[in-house]
Amino acid sequence: AGLGVMGATLSPLAAQAEYPEKPVEFIVPWSPGGGSDTQMRIVSNNAEPFLGQPMPIINMPGVGGTVGLKEASKRAADGYTVSQVHEGLLVANVTGLTDLNWDSFDPIGLMTVSPQYLVVNANRPYETFDEFVAYAKENPGKVTIGVTLGGVPHLHAAMIEDAYGLEFAYVGYEGTGERIRALVGGNLDAAIGDIASSMQFVENGDLRFLATGNPERMDQTPDVPTFKELGQDLELMITRGIVMPKGSPAEARDGLEKALSELAEDEDFIKQMNNVGGEVAFRGQEDYSKYLDNLNATVERLAERLAP
pLDDT in tens, 114-157: 899 999 999 999 999 999 999 999 999 999 999 988 889 999 99
Phi, psi values for residue 137, rounded to 5° = -70, -30
Q: How far apart, in whole angstroms, are the C-alpha atoms of residue 219 and residue 119?
A: 17
Least confident range from 62-66, 142-146, 182-186: namely 62-66
Q: Are 96 and 265 in contact (CB under 8 A)?
A: no
Q: Are 171 and 145 in contact (CB under 8 A)?
A: yes
Question: What type of residue is 119?
Answer: V
Three-state SS at 123: coil
Q: What pLDDT, on the 0 to 100 scale, is given for residue 308?
A: 64
The more confident residue out of 8 and 285 is 285
Residue 13 has pLDDT above 90, yes or no: no
Q: Are 257 and 288 in contact (CB under 8 A)?
A: no
Averaged pLDDT score across all residues of the chain: 92
Q: How confident is the model at residue 200 (pLDDT cuts 50, 70, 90)?
A: very high
Q: What pLDDT, on the 0 to 100 scale, is given for residue 234?
A: 92
Can you give the pTM of this predicted structure?
A: 0.82
Q: How confident is the model at residue 251 (pLDDT cuts 50, 70, 90)?
A: very high
Mean pLDDT of all residues in 269-290: 94
Phi-psi region of 33 (alpha: psi -120 to 50; beta: other; left: phi over 0): left
Q: How confident is the model at residue 96 (pLDDT cuts 50, 70, 90)?
A: very high
